[in-house]
Structures are given as structure tokens and as C-alpha cells.
Amino acid sequence: MAQPDERRTVSAVHGRKAVEPDPAFEVGLAEFLRAQFTRERLHALMTTYGASEEPLDVVLRRAAWRAVARRFGNGVRIGRNVLTRHAETFEIGDAVFIGDQAVLQGRFDGTCVIGNHVWIGPQAYFDARQIVIEDYVGWGPGAKVLGSVHTGVPANVPIIQTDLEIKPVRIEAGADVGMNATILPGVRVGAGAIVGAGAVVTHDVAPNAIVAGVPARFVRWRDGHEPPGTR
């Protein structure tokens, strides 16, 4: 006997959510915290209020993030136990979601730009030394990005002692990075591209391409986005 098809299609929520300005008292609280506390103390406050979903703790967590970051948009949601390093280098747009236990590791002289309506899944990892995530990007749970690699030169010393080469990473607007995928240093994922779950992306991905595998390889173009002459 055939089993019923239990698949369902429901409306998207995050990507269609209207952005409303954050309450004035919350913005004012962030300004107060920035004026009163050192950067180290503000980072500590981000952790202190980082594990609770109590409404007051959520407000204090977001205010501490806003006080530290270079830019912090409206309607940002920060999950529980999100860990950061050098959050003062972060530029976060409107309506961003960062899931539970994500790790965003910036660098003191780096830049981490997260555009509007970006969704970052739980337990994601950003080696955010020089990274740009453009608007409406989906970042799957557990997906990772690396922004640097040791040169390995000279060969007669441990690799970890060799210089670190920082390679900018850019994920263009509307792209989707699947669960547990890995983006390696220097990669650009084109607008509207899809990176399959568990893929390891070692080279640039063309706009509207679908890639999958280890290492990631081209699978096909998204429907309706085939370049002229490829059909």
C-alpha cells in the first residue's frame, strides 16, 4: 500500500519579515553601555546575558552587542551561547538571525560584514578575518568558513609557526550554504548559488550554480537561470 506523501510547503518567515526600528530605550541603553564600559567588559556582558531567553536578558544581550559592534541593525536576533572574538570588527545589518552556539571569530584588524536578512544556523563557525556575507544569504546549521591558511614556508619549521595568509571570502546576495558545508579561504560564492550540505568549497562558485561534494563540483544551474546556449 502506497504511503501518503507528508511533505508540505509553507511560507518563508525570516526572509519576508518586515523590519521595524528597535525601541529607543534599547538603542539608548547600548549608547550608555558603550560610554561606560571598556570593550573587554562589554564582551563579558555579551557572555553574561548570552544563555537565557528571558526577555530582559535578551534585551541586555542585544544592547551589549550593539555597544560593541561597528554597526548593528534593527530586528537582529542573537541565539543562546553565541561566542565571539573581536566583535568590534562586526558590521551587522537589519533582521539578521544568529543561531544558538554559533562561533564568530573575528580578528583585531579584520572585517566581518553580515548583510540584511541573513540567517545563520546553530553551531555555525565563522573564521571572520575578512568576510562579507551579502543580503538574504542562508547559512545552514554547522556550516563553516575559513578565512586564512598558513603558508607552510619554510618547510623546516612546524606549519603552525609559518606566516598566516588571510584570504577574503564573499558570499553574494541570495546564496544558500547548506548544513555542515565548508567554505575555504579566498572563495567567492556567487549570487543565488546553492552549496549542498556537507560540501567542501575550494574554488569560486558561479552565480546561480548548484555545487555539491568533496571537493565541491558543479551539479547544474538553478532552474530558469541557465546561461544562454546551455539548454
Report the chain's mean pLDDT, rounded to a whole number.
Answer: 94
| Strands, E assignment, 45-180 | 71-72, 77-78, 83-85, 90-92, 97-98, 103-114, 119-120, 125-133, 138-139, 144-145, 148-150, 164-166, 169-171, 176-177
Q: pLDDT at position 14, please?
A: 86
Neighbouring CB atoms inside 10 A of 92's CB total 24
Distance CA 35, CA 90 (A): 18
Whole-number Cα distances in Å, 143 to 104, 180, 182, 183, 217? 12, 4, 6, 8, 17
Pairing type for strands 138-139 and 103-114 reads unpaired
Where are the domains positioned within the chain? 22-68, 81-221
Neighbouring CB atoms inside 10 A of 53's CB total 10
Greater pLDDT, 5 or 153: 153
Reported pTM: 0.92
User: What fold does the segment set 81-221 form as a domain?
Assistant: UDP N-Acetylglucosamine Acyltransferase; domain 1 (2.160.10)
Region 198-224 average pLDDT: 96
Helix (H, G, I), strand (E, B) or coil at 134: coil
Q: pLDDT at position 228, please?
A: 76
Which helix H or strand E contains 65, and what residues bound it? Answer: helix 55-68
Q: pLDDT at position 122, please?
A: 98
Q: pLDDT at position 13, please?
A: 85
pLDDT category, 221, cuts 50, 70, 90?
very high
Question: Would the pLDDT of 229 be above 80?
Answer: no
**How does pLDDT run across 22-48, given as a tens digit for each residue?**
999 999 999 999 999 999 999 999 999
**How does pLDDT run across 94-130, given as a tens digit for each residue?**
999 999 999 999 999 999 999 999 999 999 999 999 9
Share of the chain above pLDDT 90, in %: 88
